Structure 1
Amino acid sequence: MTDFTAATRATYDTIAAEYARQWSTPPAWVAAELDRLAALLPAGSRIADIGCGPGHHTRALRERGFRVTGFDLSRRMLGAARVPGLVQADMRALPLAARSLGAVWCVAALLHVPRPEVPQVLGEFGRVLRPGGELLLSVAEGDGEGWDERAYGASLRRWFVLHRFEALAALLAEAGFGIVGHEREATHRDWLRIHARRR
């Protein structure tokens, strides 16, 4: 585990309760993505919510009839909202069988992975998805990487890696994905949302 990852996990352990309260209501776009997945996958499909935090999206996916396990590196995050069935795990080595999932949902989590390790993570996503499986990937858009101290201060910093569509699409292709589409939106930062499918 890199120092960047360890420090980011420590921050999330510290802010877990506050974070769970702050994001207890998922943003509006999540409902649209749930509708999209519900149209693509049968009820009961297995989904991994990677970087699930307190599990708000895990719960929302389950409410749509999917079988969902949430995974996060921060143990305190996993207990912050009392959502059952969340597992502590590193997205670089997921405790899942090959081709066992219908979809991977990864929102605002890959952005904490140092850039040299991103291909490994995308390879794991490809490994655990069945052929034709869906990937929803949401990252901060831009250039560069570094510590973000704006939200919680210098003592509670998080490592952020910004991505551009073309470069991330190329990495996804190398990991066995075809791009289905992508969208952008702006909140307190610029976001890039990619829909991809395992070839």
Structure 2
Amino acid sequence: MAEESGGVTFTTVSADDWLTDTRASYDAVADSYLDFTREALAESPLLRGVLALFAEAARDVGGPVADIGCGPGLITSHLHGLGLDAFGVDLSPRMVELAGRQHPDLRFHIGSMTDLALADDSVGGVLAFYSIIHVPDHEVPAVLAHFRRVLRPGGVVMLGFHVGDRVRLKTEGYGGHPMSLHVHRRPVERVAGWLRDAGFTIEAQVLLGPDDEVPGGMLIARTGS
């Protein structure tokens, strides 16, 4: 089922192959995405500030920090610069290849947040920076359970996501390359509820660009000690 709004098609998510679509889409746009995001942090002191909050909390826990959905490694490298032992995981092989080329001193791995190949209690922090936006609602609790499983006691998770309450089908992006994946906008309260259900306690909530068409939601949460 689909509806048109402002020239954009909004649909419900019914396909079971969303992981395949997401991987293929980001493989296709990876090089353009790198160029598109290269200066994103330099141009946004507020984003840097929120990431600094996460880094401070994760540093207190100790241990490595996983950047899940790391793309070409910009945020992973930034976390490393903040003193964290950060490594990246991404579904797209091309993204991981570019990340390793751009940041040869850091570790990057191909993997899925739906089947996270990390040991239990192995990391002090998990960052999912706008990488849950393609995950269907019914899959999010399982993803957060994986985050909870791999975190050490007292470990910290930070989620970044688009705020709203609809899903759109993205068919083109980053230099006009074809894509085929769903982009979810979610109320902050819904995402916070999923975190609480997964055993996290919310410690910080930030809304970036509340007057923008699509605000950015940031939630920092902690496991029990």
Q: TM-score, normalised by structure 1?
A: 0.91
CA-CA distance at 1:102 after TM superposition: 0.9
- Residue 33 (str. 1) matches residue 50 (str. 2): yes
Closer, same or farther in 2 for the Cα pair 1:87/1:154, shift >3 Å?
closer
In terms of mean alpha carbon deviation, does 186-195 or 156-165 score higher? Answer: 186-195
What's the counterpart of residue 57 of structure 1? 75
- Residue 120 (str. 1) matches residue 142 (str. 2): yes
What's the counterpart of residue 132 of structure 1? 154
What's the counterpart of residue 162 of structure 1? 185
What's the counterpart of residue 20 of structure 2? 6
Q: Which structure: larger Rg?
A: 2
Closer, same or farther in 2 for the Cα pair 1:149/1:59, shift >3 Å?
same
> What is the one-letter code of the residue matched to 1:87?
H
> What is the one-letter code of the residue matched to 1:191?
G
What's the counterpart of residue 38 of structure 2? 24
- Give me the whole-angstrom Cα distance separating, in 1, the residues matched to 2:146 and 2:158: 14
- Give me the whole-angstrom Cα distance separating, in 1, the residues matched to 2:19 and 2:220: 25
Closer, same or farther in 2 for the Cα pair 1:118/1:68, shift >3 Å?
same
- Give me the whole-angstrom Cα distance separating, in 2, the residues matched to 1:11 and 1:88: 15
Aligned length: 199
- Give me the whole-angstrom Cα distance separating, in 2, the residues matched to 1:123 and 1:43: 19
Q: TM-score, normalised by structure 2?
A: 0.81
- Give me the whole-angstrom Cα distance separating, in 2, the residues matched to 1:21 and 1:154: 13
CA-CA distance at 1:157 after TM superposition: 3.0
Unaligned runs of at least 5 residues, structure 2: 1-14
Which 4+ stretches in 1 moved above 6 angstroms? none
> What is the one-letter code of the residue matched to 1:162?
R
Unaligned runs of at least 5 residues, structure 1: none
Identity %: 34
- Residue 97 (str. 1) matches residue 119 (str. 2): yes
> What is the one-letter code of the residue matched to 1:35?
A
CA-CA distance at 1:9 after TM superposition: 1.5
Closer, same or farther in 2 for the Cα pair 1:167/1:176, shift >3 Å?
same
- Give me the whole-angstrom Cα distance separating, in 1, the residues matched to 2:153 and 2:178: 43
Work out whether residues 162 and 215 of structure 2, in 8 Å CA contact, stay in contact via their aligned partners in 1.
yes
Q: CA RMSD in A?
A: 2.1
CA-CA distance at 1:165 after TM superposition: 1.6
- Residue 172 (str. 1) matches residue 195 (str. 2): yes
Q: Deviations over 1:80-119 (max 9, x none)?
A: 2412411000001111111111111110100111111000
In terms of mean alpha carbon deviation, does 187-196 or 12-21 score higher? Answer: 187-196
What's the counterpart of residue 46 of structure 1? 64
Say which SS state the counterpart of residue 196 (structure 1) adopts: strand
- Give me the whole-angstrom Cα distance separating, in 2, the residues matched to 1:122 and 1:142: 20
